[in-house]
Amino acid sequence: MNKARELLLQNFDQMVSVLQKTICFNTEKGEPAEGAPFGVEIKKCLDYVLQVSKDMGFETVNCDGYAGHVDFVGTSKNVLGILGHLDVVPSKAEEWLYPPYGGEIHDGKLFGRGTMDDKGPMIACLFATKALKDAGFEPASTIRLIFGCDEESGMECMRHYFTKMPYPNVAFSPDGDFPVINREKGIFQFALDCGKLPEGVTIHAGERANVVPSLCTVTSKKQLQVVGNVTESFANGVYTYTSLGKSAHGSTPNEGVNAIHPLLQMLANAYPENATLAFLANKCCDTSGTAWGINLWDCESGNLTCSLDIIRTSENGDIIITVDIRFPVSYTCEHMQSLIEQNSPSFCKLLGAHASEPLFVASDTYLVTTLMDVYNTAMNVNVSPIAIGGGTYSRCLPNCVAFGPLFPDEEQTIHMPNECIDLESLKKMALLYLEAIYRLTKD
Ligand SMILES: [Zn+2]
């Protein structure tokens, strides 16, 4: 192990340079093409990572461009999965200090979309596996790094991958927080038709069902009373209002500022007779779900969160919203759906949902106790596994928990402008992954 640790540190600069190259692929979801179900840039990034892995001497498989895996083959039939992704959420370059796909290093931090979520930790795991191999380690279980390509937009990649490939026996996903996340709230993202706005009013915001929107625009023939961080302009008899907020992950709406909220308030004030606006402004802007009557809580995972992430006018003039709900582990998607239907006005219609049941791997399983021991020993702490609202890859397969990459005292930049990875953290996490992979595959 000492030898492997040494090699990992020796190769750190090479790890950073491979990571920079992966960041330079803009792996936002794109138009499907041959062998590239999620866009050409994602395919190129996957090809690149698999080629680098092959050059390290590992066996690689490209699963129809949906995902790929890298094997360090062990002596037994068991497989340890390490599950991460190469796709990223969109970024607006004007909100960034440095180009989101530049991979630039400033003040000891590597900037770029995907540096923390999830290219950085996956490249760290790859180099940890390489260090073990180069140190002469012979794993009992096969070490299998799985690179998915559609984590941010519905996890289609893993549904496809696991129709072709078996589940690993146990797995971790470096796509959450340290120490270990063994409870993930259920996800219920749904589109709701909310009826019509007053004549001449439009509203538009959001791009992804799991991102708090930082920009929202409204047009209205009537002048509105401005509240919050909203600017007004007037041209051709139409007022335009632009609201600026702060984006965040849909599972943590309180870490962002939703740009839709003040505009709905302004519209509801100006058009009190419109039932759609009353519902949207009074019920849908409360991030705890209490105003809507859909709030839930349990002791394993805490409160439900509710994030209004997309709002649009459909072709027939109806307002369609997309809401991201994260509900506690003791409840089910079915329960959630009926709660929403019962508590929404009769003119609202549920159009469709992406639903994912909660994840719960008991704290006394070998997987969780081993990872916790690796973390507590290395960090010289004595902490317990945690619960989150984010949906990681862990829930795509049985016996999987999230392990890193975010340390408890670190600033969280995932899904935000200026996403970055601290190079010291990268080194620290690579050493933790090295230890974890070793302990989970040595016998
Ligand atoms: Zn992720």
Structure tokens at 135: 């140190």
CA of residue 392 to ligand 1 center, whole Å: 6
Specify the pTM.
Answer: 0.77
Closest listed residue to residue 84, CA positions, set 164, 170, 33, 144:
144
pLDDT for residue 190: 98
pLDDT for residue 300: 85
CA of residue 224 to ligand 1 center, whole Å: 39
CA of residue 197 to ligand 1 center, whole Å: 36
What is the C-alpha to C-alpha distance for residues 316 and 313, in angstroms, rounded to an integer?
Answer: 8
Q: Taking the CA atoms of the chain, what radius of gyration do you get in angstroms?
A: 23
What is the C-alpha to C-alpha distance for residues 76 and 98, in angstroms, rounded to an integer?
Answer: 46
CA of residue 437 to ligand 1 center, whole Å: 20
What is the C-alpha to C-alpha distance for residues 205 and 213, in angstroms, rounded to an integer?
Answer: 6
pLDDT for residue 392: 82
Run of H or E including 211:
none
What phi and psi values does residue 337 have, to the nearest 5 degrees? -60, -45
CA of residue 226 to ligand 1 center, whole Å: 36
3-state DSSP: the chain helix, strand, coil percent, rounded to 5? 30, 30, 40
Q: Please report, in tens digits, the pLDDT of each residue of the chain (443 residues total).
A: 899 999 999 999 999 999 999 999 999 999 999 999 999 999 999 999 999 999 999 999 999 999 999 999 999 999 999 999 999 999 999 999 999 999 999 999 999 999 999 999 999 999 999 999 999 999 999 999 999 999 998 889 999 999 999 999 999 999 999 999 999 999 999 999 999 999 999 999 999 999 999 999 999 999 999 998 999 999 999 999 999 999 999 999 999 999 999 999 999 999 999 999 999 999 999 999 999 999 999 988 999 999 999 999 988 889 999 999 999 999 999 999 999 999 999 999 999 999 989 999 989 999 999 999 999 999 999 999 998 887 788 999 999 999 999 999 999 899 899 999 999 999 999 999 999 999 999 99
CA of residue 118 to ligand 1 center, whole Å: 5
CA of residue 369 to ligand 1 center, whole Å: 23
CATH 3.30.565.10 describes domain 2-185+359-441: no
What is the C-alpha to C-alpha distance for residues 113 and 346, in angstroms, rounded to an integer?
Answer: 41
CA of residue 42 to ligand 1 center, whole Å: 15
CA of residue 122 to ligand 1 center, whole Å: 10
pLDDT for residue 317: 87
pLDDT for residue 428: 98
Q: Write the Ramachandran bin of 432: left for phi over 0, alpha for psi from -120 to 50, otherwise beta.
A: alpha
What is the C-alpha to C-alpha distance for residues 351 and 318, in angstroms, rounded to an integer?
Answer: 12
CA of residue 61 to ligand 1 center, whole Å: 21
CA of residue 174 to ligand 1 center, whole Å: 8
CA of residue 263 to ligand 1 center, whole Å: 30
Closest listed residue to residue 203, CA positions, set 93, 122, 306, 318:
318
pLDDT for residue 389: 84
**Domain-by-domain residue ranges, the chain?**
2-185+359-441, 186-356
The hierarchical CATH code for the domain 186-356 is 3.30.70.360
How many angstroms separate the most distant Cα atoms in the chain?
74
- What amino acid is encoded at 233 in this protein? S
Cα of first residue to Cα of last residue in the chain, in angstroms, is 14
CA of residue 237 to ligand 1 center, whole Å: 44
CA of residue 249 to ligand 1 center, whole Å: 10
